[in-house]
Structure 1
Amino acid sequence: MIKLDRTDRRILELMQADGRISNLELADKIGLSPSPCSRRVKALEEAGLIARHVTLLDPVKLNLNLTAYIHISMDRHTPDRFENFETKVSSYEEVLECVLVTGTDADYQLKVVVPDMAHYQEFLLGKLTRIDGVTGVRSSFVLREVFQHTALPLTHIR
């Protein structure tokens, strides 16, 4: 566990809010000169706290109008079955998120984005249900996205 001081937390907050913030602007906002600021960012990257830099796209403007949450049940709970499933779904560009879950009768939850219901059906029948071990699929469709956060809360981090 890495100990973060107030400056590190502020760097992370600012970078989460704007991944394109320049080092000069970041340094100015946290009250450091550019060189020490750059060294801190590099240290946070090397420590694995900054996993990667991404650009968030608007799915609707890209004609990706249908978001589904899919609960998947597996026939056997074996490492081989799970590894095969995870390898397959990680290769599908429609899948934005795959998590192993508890507390329901499902084993996995996927977040999938596609243009429309026809593409969803093609994904479901052509890819997902063909994976060895998948025995149940239950889908829920997003009617409206109320909000989506990408920034992790840092107020409780020591």
Structure 2
Amino acid sequence: MNESITLDLDAIDRRLLDLLQADASRSNVDLAAAAGVSPATALRRVKRLVDAGVIERQVALVAPTVTPQALTVIAEVTLDRQGAEHLAAFEARAVAEEAVQQCYRVSSGPDFVLVLWLPGMPAYDALVQRLFTQDANVRNVRAYFAVRRSKFDPRIRLPA
């Protein structure tokens, strides 16, 4: 989420979030037992966290080895013009691409860092044409191809 969450998280909320980040597939009864609260409390708290936007969504993480020819690419993109409308236009085009898993507008360097997942080099080439080459405002793209994933952990560490 882009907007700031203003919900005060207590120790129970943080424990529930930590447990859900490790395994969101557990039943409410198992979640409650692991958190040391009643099932009703766990259900009510999780619903409140979802309603407040603290929990954006629950997903299944698929092993990248399911598609052995797939590419993970980290791309730095620098635009020619950095006006708000130019940044917003590129960002909109980038996030609309299915292959873009993550899109960050960054400062002090490139304008954007993208994390891409593509089923192979032909798909990467097609994305380059659509997203980078056809956009006259893209000045430079530096792409890094991952050769091994040493760590992937989407959890957010919550302050105690």
TM-score (norm 2): 0.89
- 119-128 or 65-74: which moved more? 119-128
Paired letter, 2:114: L
Match of 2:36 in 1: 31
C-alpha displacement of 1:86 = 1.0
C-alpha displacement of 1:90 = 1.1
Instruction: Give the unaligned 5+ runs of structure 2.
Output: 1-5
Paired letter, 1:123: L
Match of 2:155 in 1: 151
Partner Cα distance (1:130, 1:122) in 2: 11
**Structure 2 residue 21 is matched with structure 1 residue 16:** yes
Match of 1:116 in 2: 120
- 46-55 or 116-125: which moved more? 116-125
Q: Deviations over 1:63-109 (max 9, x none)?
A: 452111111111111111111111111111111111011222x1111
Instruction: Give the unaligned 5+ runs of structure 1.
Output: none
Match of 1:84 in 2: 89
Partner Cα distance (1:81, 1:64) in 2: 34
State the superposition RMSD in angstroms. 1.5
Instruction: Report the identity percentage.
Output: 33
Match of 1:41 in 2: 46
Instruction: Look up the SS of the partner of 2:78 in the other structure.
Output: strand
C-alpha displacement of 1:123 = 1.4
**Structure 2 residue 139 is matched with structure 1 residue 135:** yes
C-alpha displacement of 1:43 = 1.0
Partner Cα distance (2:135, 2:64) in 1: 26
Paired letter, 1:18: D
Give yes or no for contact 1:68–1:111 (8 Å, CA) kept in 2.
yes
Partner Cα distance (1:64, 1:6) in 2: 43
Matched pairs, number: 155
Q: List structure 1 runs of 4+ shifted beyond 3 angstroms.
A: none
Give yes or no for contact 1:85–1:132 (8 Å, CA) kept in 2.
no
C-alpha displacement of 1:117 = 2.3
Instruction: Look up the SS of the partner of 1:87 in the other structure.
Output: helix
Match of 1:73 in 2: 78
Partner Cα distance (2:131, 2:10) in 1: 46
Give yes or no for contact 1:74–1:107 (8 Å, CA) kept in 2.
yes
TM-score (norm 1): 0.90
Instruction: Look up the SS of the partner of 1:137 in the other structure.
Output: strand
